[in-house]
Amino acid sequence: MKRLLLVLILTLSFQTLSKADDIRDFEIEGMSIGDSLLDYLSKSEIKKVIKITKNHYKYLKDPIKYREAYIFEPNNFKTYQTASLMFKQNDDNYKITFVRGMKDYIENLKGCFSQLDEITKEIEANISNFTKDVREGKSKLDKSGKSISYNTYYTLSSGDVIMLTCNNWDEKLRKKKNWTEGLSVVMRTKEMGNWLQGN
């Protein structure tokens, strides 16, 4: 299967590939929807990291239907600094249903927007049968209303989604919470999206 790379440098990909309609045709740092998480982490590593993320989705009605594993210090990543992958609880094959690549742009929203624009052009040149939705909104995690999230959603004909985000936290809150901010590129299945939306 030919896979399209969601990267930040356009010259690295999309030279002669045809249009893609399947979310599995895309990859972030070599990782794709449908892969096994065991291709990237051992079972012991997975058990260790999912303990860290066990409360991340406690606001959902079924908070551990899916589990999330982070790759915090990748040695072979070329573009992103951190990755997050999700799989269904009790899936012995650890089939990946969600892939996210993250890159820091601390107090550099302009730089994040620049990279987001490049990825937007890359995606639109290489997918067909999609709908695009651009949203800007205040983060629910910041009661002051000063933190803004800028999102672009590409929904494929299957219902699967590619989402590009630039987060801009209020600096006082970011420092207090020791949060990072910047670019996030997500691939997720339709089923995964329904769970995240509480459906």
- pLDDT tens for residues 47-99? 999 998 888 898 898 999 999 999 977 778 888 999 999 999 999 999 999 99
Q: Structure tokens of 9?
A: 């440098």
Q: What is the pLDDT of residue 87?
A: 97
Which range has the worst mean pLDDT, 1-5, 97-101, 180-184?
A: 1-5
Q: Is 60 exposed, middle or buried (0-12, 13-18, 19+ CB in 10 A)?
A: middle
Beta bridge pairs of residue 86: 68, 98
Q: Structure tokens of 5?
A: 């790379």
What is the pLDDT confidence band of residue 2, given thresholds at 50, 70 and 90?
Answer: very low
Angle at 66 between CA 60 and CA 68, to 5 degrees: 105
Phi, psi (rounded to 5 degrees) for 127:
-130, 155
Pairing of strands 26-27, 66-71: unpaired
Between 114 and 177, name the one with better pLDDT. 114
Angstrom distance (rounded) from CA 32 to CA 4: 10
Buried b (16+ CB within 10 A) or exposed e, 61-86: eeebebbbbbbeeeeebebbbbbbbb
Q: Are 20 and 4 in contact (CB under 8 A)?
A: yes
Q: What is the pLDDT of residue 14?
A: 33
Residues 6+ apart with CB under 8 A from 19: 126, 127, 128
Angstrom distance (rounded) from CA 64 to CA 60: 9
Residues, the chain: 199
Q: At which residue do the structure tokens 């949203």 appear?
A: 135
Angstrom distance (rounded) from CA 32 to CA 168: 27
Q: Mean of the pLDDT values across residues 152-172?
A: 94
